[in-house]
Structures are given as structure tokens and as C-alpha cells.
Amino acid sequence: MSTFTVTHQQITDNVCVVQTLESTDILVGQEITLSGCDATINGSHIVFQIPIYYFTGVNASGDYLFNDQILFTNQILFQLIAANIEREAVDPVGSLVWTTPTECQWGSVGDLTEFLGIAGATANDTAFMTTSVNASNAYCFKRRSQAGYKDDLVNVPDAAVLSGVVLMAASLYRERGSLDSYNSFQDMTISAPVASMGRINSLLGIKRAQVA
């Protein structure tokens, strides 16, 4: 759960826009809970859009209208049937609670163990497996977000993405104790990598033209 400070509020054409002091990772379709704002705004809402411009209303076709000459960062837009409120500061401030998990949970230690074919031999092994999985989850979610995907933090998009997460976690785990590659004896041939970044990127659907 994360809590953010709400600085501004607005209702126009049954659409509410609030602005937070801090930047957030809130995505469309996630739930937020507001308090300390106008009484008609307080409560739980589903996010419809994360706009960056001043919201001016809704046209006859139901499309959201914005003034692209006025930039407002950290905004969150959602539907709300209520009387109009001109954009104003929340006095003193409001609160936004985001209960959606803030850490990606796509891959698990069980997935990594299945790939490696062997469980951790010691508590330290298991702990580092957890660290590798968490790092892979965070990296893969961040890279897909940068590529334009709007993913859920809990439910993995598909089997291909999960495979990419597991391969990344396995690569991190097998680099344990090394400087920049897999461990090997100096006078012996270095073993082949678990997976190439090219394969991981293709499974994640990144390093290509940005999606809409």
C-alpha cells in the first residue's frame, strides 16, 4: 500500500481529475482511495487515464478534451457523476491511497527452481534465489513499461513473458560470485550462457517498435 498527497482537484462533465504532489506508478484500471478532498470526490475510484494536460471536458462523442498548452504532471482521471468543480487546490491537502501491490510478482522461486532443476542447497542459496527472482521481476516490468506496455503487477501477461522473467532470474542467479559473467575455472572452457539478452528481450516483447 502506498499513500500520496493530493494537491488539486477538479470535476468537469462528470469526470474528476486529481493531482498528486509526488509522481506515482499508478496505471489505468487500478483502484485508488481518496480522502481529505471534496466530499463528492472522497472514496474509491477506478483510474481511467493518467493525463498530462489540463482537462477541459467531454465532447459529444464522449472523448476527453485537453488543453495541450497547459501542462499538469502527476494527474489521475476517473469517472464521477457530480456537480462541476473548477480546478482548485485541496485545502490543506488530501490523501490518495493506492492498495495495488507496488512490486511486480510475475515470477516465483518455484518457477526458477523448476528451470534450474534443483532446489537451493542452503538457506543462503534460497535467499539468493529470492533476490534473483525479485530483481528479474522488477527489471522485466520496468523494461516493458518503458516499451509502452500497461501491465498488471500481479498477473503475468502471458507465458512468453513469464519465460523471459525466469530466464533473466536464472542468469542473475548463475552469475553469483562472479564479476561480469558465469563462474568457471580459468583453465577450462567457459560454459555457455543460460540465455542471451536477445532471447529474453524477444520473450518480453521489448527492443522493438513501441506499442500503442
Whole-model pTM over 0.85: no
Say whether pLDDT at 179 is over 70: no
Task: Give residue-wise pLDDT tens across range 71-100.
Answer: 999 999 999 999 999 999 999 999 999 877
Nearest to 171 by CA among 144, 147, 198: 198
Which SS3 state, helix, strand or coil, does residue 174 take?
A: helix
Task: Give residue-wise pLDDT tens across range 158-169.
Answer: 999 999 999 999
Name the band, by pLDDT with cuts 50, 70 and 90, for residue 196: confident
Domains delineated in the chain: 2-98 (2.40.30), 109-204 (no CATH)
Phi-psi region of 211 (alpha: psi -120 to 50; beta: other; left: phi over 0): beta
Say whether pLDDT at 193 is over 70: no
